[in-house]
Amino acid sequence: MKAKTLLTVILSIVLVSCAPASIFTPTPTPILPPELSGDTAIQQLLLSSHNRWKSLRGSATVTLYPPPGVTAEAQITIAQIWIEQPNQAKVIVAPPQSAPTHIFISDGINARWNSEPAQPLPANLNQPFNPPDVPSDTVYLHPLGGMLGTPVSDLIFPAGLAQRGGEYRLTGKEALAGRQTYVVEWGRAPGQLIDRFWVDTQTGVILRQQNYGKESSTTPNSEIVFNFIEFDNAMPAEVFDLNSPDLPTLATLQPALPSDAPQLSVKPGIDLVNVRSGPSTMYDIIAALTPKQMARVVGKNQEGDWWQIEMDGKTGWVFAELVDFSGEAAAVPVVPTPSP
């Protein structure tokens, strides 16, 4: 597809509400012109994603839901990821507030998994990655993504997902983790829902995925969502140092909060809560708070209907009606409201 045609397709997408909705709501009816029913534009964005950014740092929550009718807790892990293309990466995976269950680190020459000895990187990491632009029986994965050891890698390097064929349906546009995304539904047959994606409009990285399984159920089997992500910011060389005596762990990145510290979490039944730069929907979305994720409360506005929190190294605001607060509310200080 020519660049002009691709740009015309992308700019035709209708902006819809950015308010979070429950993951258990029915598939929304697309409010889009008929010409966007094809899948070429979104496939090309996913296929070329790895060429649209150089470095990435982010934190994502992976949730596996129990089968329908089964009474069990969802399985949750958090993946912290640093990447400097073409061959440097670090991944730390752990359940919330627990020790890491998986660590991968590559310094561009060697790599190691957990406590295993370092091994030389394969030569193809330094070769250009050019996935086929038409569906086939063979899916070619990005070589660095295939080494990370987490399902989040398929979202960071989504070229493999774009090679599956099927039908892509663009259903709207939403804000997530402080970025604009295209909301896309995918199925192998017309009208079938297997995956719902939130695709970053600038980089093509998938910031959120809901998978409904091959049977196209009405509730998702799993979900991956980035709580925080940033692109092309400088990272110190020691991030990818295999010999560092103080390899970061999830505990150092997200320290456990004291039991008496004011904190909050998403209310049951709510998908995610937007974290904004100020106490109003007028302010930009800078991150998202997901179920089971705790955040430290550091302040409140004068009216007491917004909490100021700290998470992923950032300070932001969440609407009080969407979260469960624990602690002494009267002890939380009122802080100045920032300018929009």
Instruction: Please give the average per-residue pLDDT across 325-331, as a whole number.
Output: 89
How does residue 320 score in pLDDT terms, banded at 50, 70 and 90? very high
Q: What angle do CA 29, 32, 34 make, to 5 degrees?
A: 110
Q: Encoding tokens for residue 249?
A: 């762990």
> What does pTM read for this prediction?
0.71
Tell me the per-residue pLDDT of 126-181, one tens digit each, with 9 for 90 and over.
889 998 877 777 889 999 999 999 999 999 999 999 998 888 989 988 888 878 89
Q: Which pLDDT score, from 0 to 100, does residue 249 have?
A: 46
Q: Which pLDDT score, from 0 to 100, does residue 11 have?
A: 33
Evaluate whether 3-240 and 257-331 have a shared fold.
Answer: no
How does residue 259 score in pLDDT terms, banded at 50, 70 and 90? low
pLDDT value at 311 more than 90: no
DSSP state for residue 332 in the 8-state scheme: S
Q: Encoding tokens for residue 330?
A: 């009267």
How does strand 295-300 pair with strand 263-266? antiparallel
Handedness of CA 51, 55, 61, 67 (dihedral sign): positive
More confident residue, 307 or 135: 307
Q: 257-331 sits in which CATH class?
A: mainly beta
One-letter amino acid at 197 equals F
Q: Encoding tokens for residue 144?
A: 């660095």
pLDDT value at 22 more than 60: no
Q: Which pLDDT score, from 0 to 100, does residue 174 have?
A: 87
Instruction: In whole angstroms, give the CA distance from residue 42 to residue 169.
Output: 9
Question: Residue 49: what are its φ and ψ, rounded to 5°?
Answer: -55, -45
pLDDT value at 2 more than 90: no
pLDDT value at 217 more than 50: yes
Average of per-residue pLDDT values in the chain: 80
Mean pLDDT check: name the lowest of 69-73, 186-190, 218-222: 69-73
User: Does 245 sit behind a cis peptide bond, omega within 30 degrees of 0 on the bond before it?
Assistant: no
One-letter amino acid at 29 equals T
Tell me the per-residue pLDDT of 80-118, one tens digit each, with 9 for 90 and over.
999 999 999 999 998 876 778 899 999 999 999 888 889
What is the CATH number that goes with domain 3-240? 2.50.20.10
Q: Map out the domains of the chain as residue ranges.
A: 3-240, 257-331
| Nearest Cα residue to 125 out of 151, 107, 137, 152 | 107
Long-range contacts of 253-259 (CB under 8 A, 24+ apart): 253/59, 253/80, 253/92, 254/78, 254/96, 254/97, 254/312, 256/97, 257/294, 257/296
Mean pLDDT check: name the lowest of 35-39, 107-111, 161-165, 234-238: 35-39
More confident residue, 269 or 216: 269
Q: Which pLDDT score, from 0 to 100, does residue 57 have?
A: 92
Beta strand residue intervals within 65-166, DSSP E:
75-84, 88-94, 102-107, 110-113, 119-120
Q: Which pLDDT score, from 0 to 100, does residue 97 have?
A: 67
pLDDT value at 10 more than 90: no
Beta strand residue intervals within the chain, DSSP E:
55-64, 75-84, 88-94, 102-107, 110-113, 119-120, 167-176, 179-187, 195-200, 206-211, 222-231, 263-266, 273-276, 285-289, 295-300, 306-311, 314-319, 323-326
pLDDT over 90, % of the chain: 37
